[in-house]
Amino acid sequence: MTCYAGAIVAVVSLVVLADARTAPATCDSEDGCEPTPPEPNFNNRRLVRVQAMGAPSEDEIPDATTTLTYMGHSSFKVTSPNGIEVLVDPWQNDASGFWGLWYYKLYPMTRTDIMISTHNHFDHNAFDRVESPMNLDRMVGRFFLGDVEIEGIADKHAIGKYEDGLFNELGLEKNPPNNVALLDNVIFRVKVGGVTIVFWGDNRPNPEQHVWDKLAESKIDFAVLPIDDSSHLMPYDDVETILRHLQPRAVVPVHYLMDNGLGSVLSKLLPCDAWLATHRDRLIDLKSATIALDQTLLGKLDQKKYTTLYFGSHLPFDVSDLDSATPKDYVCKK
């Protein structure tokens, strides 16, 4: 018996977590004290507040700054000036065990207002690790709320060097338009606080012209692209082709192996050292997991040639504090 089923069956458990936890009451006074009030339930109250505020006009962008926080692999949290949080592509191990152990730890339990996922692969769809009143999983079309605009552009997943032979062996159609749904992908364009970010997901480097036309409708400030020295999804020549089309002010590498004890070599990913070495002339080596997408940063970016913004292995949490992923749970058994 083989584990091939794990390569073609994606099981997504959407778990609604009701947070009714109460902080323990502590009191050292002999006269007694008021009990500690319970934590407020996590719900959509922030979305309700922003909904009531309405969207700012182009010349009324709030003074507060948009921030971008790297959560590891291809995952980010975007926080708008009005405080809306958008979480992108939370990661996990393949529950079937077919692909082995990619991460030694579980994704941190995270609260966010909106969660978006570019495609239904395990390293982009850890829905059960996220508390969110709204999930826009592979959404196509436009969504507006307050100072956030999200547009999903439907296309197809890249056929990497590992998937190519595997899908042939399994007898599965990998080529558009009749590919299996597991090879669908959505490119997200997020406009927030006066900046535009494109989350490429694992999209192919050669989409049809109408996709390029759609992406060209607005100037792109930041393009988040899969870049690693193994060319897991695409060689660097293809990355450059994408960048020539998008013409962003900055590219943000993701989907590479980090050296902080989170990722496993079983993923066959590598760091993106070769990319960094050839882009030293326009490289900002970031010193933390969160960056402000403000005028100070934009002023450092060349208008004619993209700059690489590299988060490295910086994360907003300590990897050692995360729950461990048990290796035996992700070993393909016969």
Cα diameter, the chain: 75
Query: Cα–Cα–Cα angle for 172, 176, 182, nearest 5°?
Result: 50
Please give the Cα distance from 132 to 193 (Å, whole number): 21
Is residue 231 within 8 A of residue 41, CB to CB? The reply is no
pLDDT of amino acid 29: 43
Cα within 13 Å of Cα(189), Cβ side: 21
The pTM of this model reads: 0.85
Is residue 227 within 8 A of residue 236, CB to CB? The reply is yes
Is residue 293 within 8 A of residue 222, CB to CB? The reply is yes
| Tens of pLDDT, residues 40-82 | 788 888 888 888 887 666 566 556 789 999 999 999 999 999 8
Task: List Cβ neighbours of 9 (8 Å cut-off, separation of 6 or more).
Answer: 96
- By the 10 Å C-beta count (0-12 exposed, 13-18 middle, 19+ buried), 48 is classed as exposed
Task: List Cβ neighbours of 42 (8 Å cut-off, separation of 6 or more).
Answer: 17, 19, 111, 131
Task: List Cβ neighbours of 29 (8 Å cut-off, separation of 6 or more).
Answer: none
| Tens of pLDDT, residues 196-247 | 999 999 999 999 999 999 999 999 999 999 999 999 999 999 999 999 999 9
